[in-house]
Amino acid sequence: MAKKKLTFEESLERLETITQQIEQGKIGLEESIDRYEEGMSLVKQCRDMLSKAEQRIQKLHEKADGSLGTTKFDEPKPS
């Protein structure tokens, strides 16, 4: 059975839980490593979701005639 893909908010909540468990020493070393790997996967998933959301954002701008129009969000250029 395939794992349900978490929403952005659910992923952040899970990351917070993992962080607390590791920081508070509630779990052993092996489980901490497993949770760390899960957390890194969630971070990647969140970054991918944010990237896709940024691509969908449109910003409003004022046209020469005073009306409002939209243009696609400009993605940051890689450094």
Percent over 70 (pLDDT), the chain: 73
- 63 domain residue, yes or no: no
Confidence (pLDDT) at 42: 96
Mean pLDDT of 49-76: 71
Domain hosting residue 28, numbered range: 8-55
User: Does residue 67 sit within a domain?
Assistant: no
Cα gap 34→79, rounded to integer Å:
33
Comparing 50 with 72, the larger pLDDT belongs to: 50
Better-predicted residue by pLDDT, 18 or 75? 18
In the chain, how many domains are there? 1
Residue 2 in any domain: the answer is: no
- Per-residue b or e along 39-70, where b marks 16 or more CB atoms closer than 10 Å to that residue's CB: beebeeebeeeeeeeeeeeeeeeeeeeeeeee
The total of other beta-carbon atoms located within 10 Å of residue 20's CB is 10
SS3 for 59?
strand
pTM of the model: 0.67
Q: Is residue 62 assigned to a domain? A: no
More confident of the two residues 72 and 25: 25
Whether residue 78 is contained in a domain is answered as: no
